[in-house]
């Protein structure tokens, strides 16, 4: 294994320490429960929006805490749901009279932790709602999931809900918005290589020198099929066809289009892929009104990418365009 | 080779097409000379700031064109300087009565192309100055370079000069600022793996399973030594020691600190490395006033990172904090 790591069991804690040191004025790190939260949270006049998941998907979700995005993120260890006691402690610390919204990608382990924590929090008198994200069209059930998996499309739910929460929306209103964005969003990805979790030290699965996993999950779960590597036109074309068919893309529709890198793919290749996807969708008569190219939800060092489309209406467009602020600094 | 690529000879053009399609309102792409420029440039009341280099270092430099950053970027092919005729055509199209500033990382091929283009442009009556960036402390001369190499520290020169140009500074003033920032900046990097150029299809150099290149260049040039992989504490510690010694870091100094990913390293590892570097510098009595963690100047899919420090004064701090806008979208 060639990674920047000390003792693998400290990997997540040391990453979060670095994040906190880089953002001393805006973020608070609570080591006891792997919690990163906005320094100005909770606020009595705003719903707190919290996401948890396994680590290894950064920038999701610890790097997306900030005004107009998440109020807090409580990650588990790499590819492991956060323990229930971390989640309940997070909810307690971020509880607001306006309520708490939990965003959870649809994996069985995460569902269990968050549903149990919600029950405990409600018993303590905290109003909590939970939104499950399931944008991955690759497979119906999967290695760690009943139903569709939640992957990079989670970004759009988080951005829209975060913007609305920042503007003072109620908990009911946030649930409505989040469900609507999730229903408008589809993703599918492809892995060119496996990823290597620090504590394992070897690749999570085996891929031959010319093999790819088409429809891969963000924890390396199997997708639709093993294939031989092909041209970017063919790979991206097949991903676009999958999401466009599932969302029934028709001429005249307006979309946000995201090419999400899975961790080990350079942004040059992501822009090349973006051009292909953009042309294919506009060839179908769709308009691309917002574009996203980069890393939003990764799988450690996996080479690969996913394509996400979101059908836009006026409300979603406004929420995606609203100002936000997160730790990731590009200039 | 496992990459998102069609015909490798079209790699750069297809990447630039994708970039232009993703930013139709703000960027213009001129295929004849690999040029990406701001849609509102040139402006008669602003110096045009142009950077060229080989491709493969994205986001540098085509993704850093925008208000408060570059006016334009004219890349060559992967790891190859842009041809002189591309550079002169770029200068002609972006010529402003206030003048043109060329930013060039110190590599022999890039120097030749830009110096020749400057001479040709001056013969046509265009006022041109050139700034060379040479922040890499690893080695004195290198595979493609006489003198020190220009690497990720180039970001700070570009950001400071771009901010000053946006505010209306003169060409002389921009040269003064750029030279000052370059003199205040030091970088050193380490490669855990080699990178694979699309047209070559195989890794650019060989590294054993437990070997790293300490002090690597962004084209895979040899650094100070081949070593056996060690802990993050040791690797980052040695990089920090190298730049801190070279810049003579002393207690009371204020710095910007950048951990730059070389393309294949996940941002989780970069934040872990940031924490180590931050603590080591503050242990020396220095204050970290601005932090940068992510990809700024890459080497295709190379796993590795570089550490950059910039000694701050009031002027540099203000210029780094000035607003800017580029194609990379994080929310």
User: What are the tens digits of pLDDT across the range B187-233?
Assistant: 999 999 999 999 999 999 999 999 999 999 999 999 999 999 999 99
A219 carries an active-site annotation: yes
Cβ–Cβ gap B264/A235 under 8 Å: no
Which residues of B fall within a CB distance of 8 Å from A326?
A: 330-331
Alpha-carbon span A114 to B102, nearest angstrom: 54
Look up the ipTM and state it: 0.97
Among chain A residues, the shortest Cα distance to B190 is held by A4
Which of B4, B78, B232 is best to mutate for the A interface (most A CBs within 10 A)?
B4
* Per-residue confidence (pLDDT) for residue A117, from 0 to 100: 98
pLDDT tens-place string over residues A31-55: 999 999 999 999 999 999 999 999 9
Which residues of B are tagged catalytic? Answer: 57, 219
Token output for A132: 């499950």
A-B contacts (CB, under 8 Å): 208
* Per-residue confidence (pLDDT) for residue A329, from 0 to 100: 85
* Per-residue confidence (pLDDT) for residue B79, from 0 to 100: 97
Cβ–Cβ gap B293/A329 under 8 Å: yes
Alpha-carbon span B174 to B181, nearest angstrom: 11
pLDDT tier, A306 (very low <50, low <70, confident <90, very high otherwise): very high
Percent helix / strand / coil, chain B, rounded to 5: 35, 20, 45
Using DSSP, state whether B280 is helix, strand or coil: helix
Cβ–Cβ gap B6/A294 under 8 Å: no
Which residues of B fall within a CB distance of 8 Å from A68?
A: 331
* Per-residue confidence (pLDDT) for residue B324, from 0 to 100: 97
Alpha-carbon span A200 to B229, nearest angstrom: 17
Chain B nearest C-alpha distance from A280 (Å): 12
Quickly count: other Cβ atoms within 10 Å of residue A120's Cβ.
Answer: 17
Alpha-carbon span A279 to B55, nearest angstrom: 23
The proportion of chain A whose per-residue pLDDT surpasses 70, expressed as a percent, equals 100
Q: What is the pTM of this model?
A: 0.98
CA–chain centroid gap for B248, Å, is 23
Contact B107, B81 (CB under 8 A): yes
Quickly count: other Cβ atoms within 10 Å of residue A138's Cβ.
Answer: 27
Contact B153, B135 (CB under 8 A): yes
Among chain B residues, the shortest Cα distance to A276 is held by B18
HSE at residue B284, side-chain half, CA atoms within 13 A, is 21
Q: Where are the alpha helices (DSSP H) in B61-150?
A: 84-94, 108-123
Instruction: List, for chain B, all residue ranges whose pLDDT scores fall below the cut of 70.
Output: none
Alpha-carbon span B140 to B185, nearest angstrom: 16
Q: Which domains does chain A carry?
A: 8-183 (3.40.50.10440), 185-321 (3.30.1180.20)
Chain B nearest C-alpha distance from A194 (Å): 12
* Per-residue confidence (pLDDT) for residue B255, from 0 to 100: 98
Alpha-carbon span B142 to A118, nearest angstrom: 59
Q: Is B68 left (phi over 0), alpha (psi -120 to 50) or beta?
A: left
Q: How far is CA A144 from CA A139, A155, A240, in A?
A: 12, 21, 25
Contact A244, A255 (CB under 8 A): no
Which of A272, A278, A288 is best to mutate for the B interface (most B CBs within 10 A)?
A272
Residues 6+ apart with CB under 8 A from B263: A266, B195, B295, B298, B299, B300, B301, B302, B303
Using DSSP, state whether A94 is helix, strand or coil: helix
Token output for A130: 């939970």
* Per-residue confidence (pLDDT) for residue B59, from 0 to 100: 97
């Amino acid at each position: 294994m060639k990674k920047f790591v000390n003792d693998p069991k400290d990997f997540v804690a040391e990453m979060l320490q670095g994040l906190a040191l880089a953002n001393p004025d805006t973020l608070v790190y609570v080591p006891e429960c792997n919690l990163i939260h906005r320094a100005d949270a909770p606020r009595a006049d705003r719903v707190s929006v919290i996401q948890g998941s396994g680590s290894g998907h950064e920038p999701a979700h610890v790097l997306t805490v900030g005004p107009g995005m998440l109020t807090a993120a409580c990650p588990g260890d790499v590819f492991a749901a956060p323990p229930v006691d971390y989640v309940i402690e997070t909810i307690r610390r971020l509880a607001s009279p306006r309520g708490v919204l939990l965003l959870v990608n649809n994996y069985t382990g995460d569902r269990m932790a968050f549903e149990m924590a919600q029950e405990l929090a409600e018993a303590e008198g905290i109003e909590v709602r939970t939104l499950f994200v399931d944008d991955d069209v690759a497979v119906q059930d999967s290695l760690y999931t009943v139903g569709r998996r939640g992957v990079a499309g989670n970004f759009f739910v988080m951005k829209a809900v975060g913007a609305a929460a920042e503007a003072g929306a109620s908990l009911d209103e946030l649930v409505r918005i989040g469900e609507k964005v999730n229903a408008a969003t589809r993703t599918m990805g492809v892995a060119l290589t496996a990823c290597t979790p620090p504590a394992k030290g070897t690749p999570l699965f085996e891929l031959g020198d010319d093999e790819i996993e088409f429809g891969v999950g963000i924890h390396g779960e199997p997708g639709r099929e093993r294939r031989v590597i092909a041209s970017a036109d063919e790979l991206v074309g097949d991903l676009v066809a999958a999401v466009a068919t599932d969302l029934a893309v028709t001429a005249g529709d307006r979309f946000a289009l995201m090419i999400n890198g899975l961790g080990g793919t350079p942004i040059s290749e992501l822009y090349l892929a973006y051009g292909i996807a953009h042309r294919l969708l506009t060839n179908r008569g769709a308009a691309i009104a917002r574009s996203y190219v980069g890393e939003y939800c990764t799988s450690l060092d996996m080479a690969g990418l996913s394509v996400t489309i979101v059908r836009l209406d006026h409300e979603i467009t406004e929420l995606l365009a609203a100002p936000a602020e997160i730790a990731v600094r590009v200039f």
